[in-house]
Amino acid sequence: MPNQSLTQLLTTLNLTPKNMHLVQNALVHRSYLNESSEYKESNERLEYLGDAVLELITSDYLYKTYPDYQEGMLTNIRAALVRTESLADVAISLDFPKLIMMSRGEAATGGTTNKSILADAFEAFLGAVYLDLGLGSVEQILRTHLFVRAEKVIEDGLYKDSKSFLQEVAQARFKATPEYNLISEAGPDHDKEFVMQVFINNNPYSQGSGKSKQAAQESAAKNTLEQILHSW
């Protein structure tokens, strides 16, 4: 039997699953398999499927909604809509932190607020809904809870890569170009972790990390954008 939180989610989404076990399986993090014999596999296969379904329906929606936008623009908007942070926000709004089944250890180390885990569970849920109820039901979820964010993505320029967007913002607001300083690098050559920090007019802003300097710069730019835009 589904718990009360899952029942509430299905009511909110106006869904009546035929295969409740499949839907529940979408909420099983791999760490949970170590503590329960109720499920034989995690939600990772469903996440794989849900990711593909999400991309298809999002592409179809953007193609039909913005007929004047070229392929590159549509691709960037789609990437902004389906990025981990965006999907995690939707998952949080639907109370997924209460629904995901994970080990006590995973939960104790912040698993219920981990954006990657939340986004993966949401994609897995979409995969389960697709298998159980079809594309139409998935599309209704996305139209109601994700695609409503498209206009904000466009208006705020969130579809642009963070470094390019930060340069535009910094030049408009500070008449300066952002600089990126390497703060640290750690790990063996095959698995390094870089930390970069943004400076604008020699003033320090946010840091970011990544497996390459370029990825760390992009992360730092994204974090700085959030810092600057929230202060406007």
Alpha carbon distance 127, 47 (integer Å)? 6
Is residue 51 annotated as part of the catalytic site, yes or no?
Answer: yes
* Candidates 47, 51, 106, 120; catalytic one: 51
- Residue 149 tokens read as 């964010």
From the candidates 89, 120, 123, 132, give the one annotated as an active-site residue: 123
Q: Look up 68 and say whether it is catalytic.
A: no
What positions carry a catalytic annotation? 51, 123
